[in-house]
Amino acid sequence: MRTLYKAAALIPIFAVLSCDLHKDPVGLLTPAEVNTDPTLNTVVTSVTSSYQMLASTLNLLNEWRWDLGTVFRNDVIVDDMASDDVAKKWSPDGDQAWMDEVVSFNFTASNQAFNGQWSYDYEGVNRSNLAISYLTDPVLTAKIGIDPALKSRLLGEAYFLRAFYYFDLTNNFGDVPLLLKPLTNFDEAYAVAQRAAKATVVTQISADLAQAKTLMPSAKYPDASAKWRVSKGAVIALQAKVALYNQKWTDVIASVSELEALGFYSLNANYFDNFSVASKFAENEVIFQYDHETGATPRNGNGIAAPLDWGFIAPTSNLLAEFEPNDPRLAYTVSIPDKAVYKLLGSTNTTYKGNDDSPGDKVYIRFADVLLWKAEAYNETGNYAQAIAIINRVRQRARNNVTISGTAVPAGTLPDRNTASTDKTQITTWLRHERRVELSFESQRFNDLKRWGIAKQVLTALGKNFQDRNNVYPIPQSEIDKSGGSITQNTGY
C-alpha cells in the first residue's frame, strides 16, 4: 500500500529539467515505485485515490507551498476570482498578491495559480491512468479475483475521472499533453512532453465518457456505502457539458433528456439543501460532488473553510447587484454581516468558518445547472418556449423557497419570464442572469463568460485587463522549463 501511494502521489508532469539530468521526469513511475504485485485492495484504492485531487482539502501535494499554488485546489481562483463574481478578500490587502494578479489579469506564466491547477489535474490524470492500467490488465484482474461487476464500475469511475480532469485542463489551458497510461521509462516521458491539440483531447474525453457510460450500473448511488462515487448520471451529465462547451446543441438536449429519464434527479424544494452538510445524500439535486469528511485519516475535510476565516473569498458588489429584490438565494449564498460564503461552508451560519477539516462538500454538477444547459441549447435551436419554461422552473423553485430566516418569500418575487417571447437575445439575457445568481461561487461563471464570447466585454467594463489571449491561461512556465521547450507556450504569453 505504501508503494501505491508513493507512485500515485508524484506531482506531474513529465520532462527532465534541462539543467539537471539527474532528475527523473516528473510523473515517471520508476521501477522502485511501481507495485509489482498489486492486490485487490491495491486496485480498489487506486481508483479511490483518483478522486482526491478534486478535494478542497489543504496541502494534498505538499505542505503550505503558497509559492507553488498547491495549498488547495485553485478552482476558486482561476474560475471564480477571475470572473466578475468573486473578490480575493473582503478587505483588500497585499496578502497572496499572486491571486490579485489573476483577478486583474496582470499575471505572467510563472503565476502559481496556474501551476497549482495544472499540478492537481495532472496528478488526477496520473492516478486515473494507474487505476485504468490495473483494471484493463486481464492477467492481473484474473489473479486478484475481482468481481466482474465491481471491476466494471471501478473502471467506469476511472474513465470518468480522467475525462473530468482533462475537461478542466482544456478549458483552462487549451492544448495540453495527453497521457493515457502510467509512464515507466524515460523514452515514454520524453514522447509525451508535448501538447496535443485541444480537439484531440476533447475526442479522448468523449471516448472515456462513452466507455464509462457502458460500464456504470443504472443506479443513483452505485455504491450504497459510498454515495459520493461516480454514477451513470454523473457520466451523462458530463457528456452534456462537453457537448455544451462545443456548441453541439442537439447533443446537449439528447443527453440531458437521457439524464432526466433516469428519474434520479429533481430540483430540491429548499435551495440550500444542495450545499447543506445536514442534507448530504438526503436530497435529489446533486449529481456529482466531492465528499469531505471531518476527522478522517488521512485528512479529508474541506480546507476552504480556513481561508474563509482569513478574510479570503468574498462577493463582488457587481454580483450582489445582480440578484433581484428579495431573491432568497442571495442570503443562502453569502452573508455580508458574517463575511461568510455559506455555500462553501455548508451551513447557514459560521459553525465551520475557520475549521480547516470541515465536512462541507464541493459540488461539481447539480441538476439546476444541467437544466439551464438544456435551456441554452433550446434557445440556440429556436425552441424558445421550452427554454423559457426551464428558466421559469428554476425561478419558481427559488421564489417558493422559504427565506433563510424561515419566512415566506414576498409575493411578486422572481416573476415568470414572458413565455410568449421569441426574442432570442432577450431569452439569452434571462438565461445568463439566471445562471449567474443560481450558480454563483460554484466555479462556473468564468468559463461561461469565455464560452459565450463576452469575457472581454464584461471584464474590461469592470476595469480588468482581460485580453483575447486570456481565453486560455498560460502553460505554467515551470513545465516549459522542465521540458526543455518541447512543451510550448500559449500565444501571447
The b-or-e profile of 419-448 (16+ CB within 10 A means b, else e) is eeeeeeeebeebbbbbbbbbbbbbbbbbbb
250, part of any domain: no
The answer to whether residues 373 and 342 belong to one domain is yes
Query: What does the pLDDT look like over 182-194, one tens digit per residue?
Result: 987 767 777 788 9
The answer to whether residues 421 and 457 belong to one domain is no
Domain around 389? 260-450
pLDDT at 14: 43
The answer to whether residues 264 and 187 belong to one domain is no
pLDDT at 34: 57
The answer to whether residues 146 and 2 belong to one domain is yes
Task: Examine the pLDDT at 13 and tell me if it is beyond 50.
Answer: no
Give the confidence band of 35 by pLDDT, cuts at 50, 70, 90: low
The b-or-e profile of 342-372 (16+ CB within 10 A means b, else e) is bbbbbbbebebbebbbbbbbbbbbbbbbbbb
The answer to whether residues 421 and 465 belong to one domain is no
173, part of any domain: yes
Where do runs of H (alpha helix) occur along 52-96? Answer: 75
Where do runs of H (alpha helix) occur along 296-361? Answer: 305-309, 317-322, 328-333, 342-345
The answer to whether residues 102 and 32 belong to one domain is yes
**Alpha carbons 70 and 456: distance in angstroms, whole number:** 28
Query: What does the pLDDT look like over 339-396, one tens digit per residue?
Result: 999 999 999 999 999 999 999 999 999 999 999 999 999 999 999 999 999 999 999 9
Task: Examine the pLDDT at 312 and tell me if it is beyond 60.
Answer: yes
482-489: average pLDDT: 92
Task: Examine the pLDDT at 10 and tell me if it is beyond 50.
Answer: no
In the structure grid, which three cell numbers stand for residue 370, read together? Answer: 444541467
The answer to whether residues 388 and 460 belong to one domain is no
pLDDT at 96: 97
The answer to whether residues 1 and 131 belong to one domain is yes
Are 44 and 418 a contacting pair, CB within 8 Å?
no
**Which amino acid, 447?**
N
Q: Looking at the 3D structure of the chain, how many domains does it have?
A: 2
229, part of any domain: no
| CB atoms near residue 184 (< 10 Å) | 15
pLDDT at 16: 27
Query: What does the pLDDT look like over 402-432, one tens digit per residue?
Result: 999 999 999 999 999 999 999 999 999 999 9
Peptide bond into 298 cis (omega under 30): yes
The answer to whether residues 412 and 463 belong to one domain is no
Task: Examine the pLDDT at 1 and tell me if it is beyond 60.
Answer: no
List the CATH number of the domain containing 297: 1.25.40.390
Give the per-residue SS3 of 249-312.
Answer: HHHHHHHHHHHHHCCCCCCCCCHHHHCCHHHCCCCCCEEEEECCECCCCCCECECCHHHHHCCE
The b-or-e profile of 211-244 (16+ CB within 10 A means b, else e) is bbbebbeeebebbeeebbbbbbbbbbbbbbbbbb
462-490: average pLDDT: 95
